[in-house]
Chain A
Amino acid sequence: EAQVTQNPRYLITVTGKKLTVTCSQNMNHEYMSWYRQDPGLGLRQIYYSMNVEVTDKGDVPEGYKVSRKEKRNFPLILESPSPNQTSLYFCASSLKHPSYNEQFFGPGTRLTVL
């Protein structure tokens, strides 16, 4: 089944404890992206990747890192999480840039930073 998977789905952690949220797609998509969703703010793009080893900042990259060593994986790294990073995170992928192709979203990861 074609899908975008994220793990974990739910995570409660403490300030400063490094964490990684994994994202994987099995559709051989070139474009992958991370978003955070906050009440009243909609979805905001954190980072995106046009292809392997090519990443770029979205609108809210501060406090996050990403890597794209393989086509299928695009992990989101929080080196030192803070409470303002408590949010619902979505990973997404599309064959090429989403201007040209439908973007498929993962199920979301709800992160709470205490």
Chain B
Amino acid sequence: AQKVTQAQTEISVVEKEDVTLDCVYETRDTTYYLFWYKQPPSGELVFLIRRNSFDEQNEISGRYSWNFQKSTSSFNFTITASQVVDSAVYFCARTGANSKLTFGKGITLSVRP
């Protein structure tokens, strides 16, 4: 199976700190897609971003930014000036030619006031 690795399992920061969540993926596909999802304490899963393998431009959305580097097979997520409401489990995922969506194990982010 082509894995998605989120090596960090838990991160704890103080509010207003910047934090980067790492994601490394394996793929044999030329075309593939990468995702980030957020799971707040309430339990629902919220889509954050989708990126295709041909688009290596970094993306910024408010305090969130994503850095996609094909050379290192990484798709890292940075939260700038973190807030307590950012506390959640964050999942990175990929899909490719086999249509299966594979998630990483998730990173639990705790933002303390």
Taking Cβ atoms with an 8 Å cutoff, the residues of A that contact B are 33, 35, 40-45, 48, 50, 56, 58-59, 88, 90, 92, 97-99, 102-105, 107-108
Interface of A is mostly: strand
Taking Cβ atoms with an 8 Å cutoff, the residues of B that contact A are 1, 6, 9, 32-33, 35, 43-45, 47, 50, 52, 91, 93, 95, 99-106
Partner of B91, one of A40, A42, A56, A108: A42
CB distance from A92 to the nearest CB of B (A): 8
**A42-B105, A107-B44 known; A97-B99 Cβ under 8 A:** yes
Does B105 lie within 8 Å of A40, measured CB to CB? yes
Closest to B89 in A: A42
**A48-B99, A59-B102, A98-B95 known; A90-B45 Cβ under 8 A:** yes
CB distance from A80 to the nearest CB of B (A): 25
Partner of B44, one of A59, A99, A105: A105
CB distance from A57 to the nearest CB of B (A): 9
Instruction: List residues of chain A with CB within 8 A of the CB of B45.
Output: 43, 90, 92, 105
How far is B100's CA from A56's CA once the two chains are assembled, in angstroms?
9
Instruction: List residues of chain A with CB within 8 A of the CB of B6.
Output: 42
CB distance from A82 to the nearest CB of B (A): 23
**A43-B91, A108-B44 known; A59-B50 Cβ under 8 A:** no
18 additional contacts, CB 8 Å, given A44-B103, A102-B50? Answer: A33-B101, A35-B103, A41-B105, A42-B91, A42-B103, A42-B105, A43-B106, A45-B102, A58-B100, A58-B101, A98-B35, A98-B95, A98-B101, A99-B50, A99-B52, A102-B47, A105-B44, A105-B45
CB distance from A53 to the nearest CB of B (A): 16
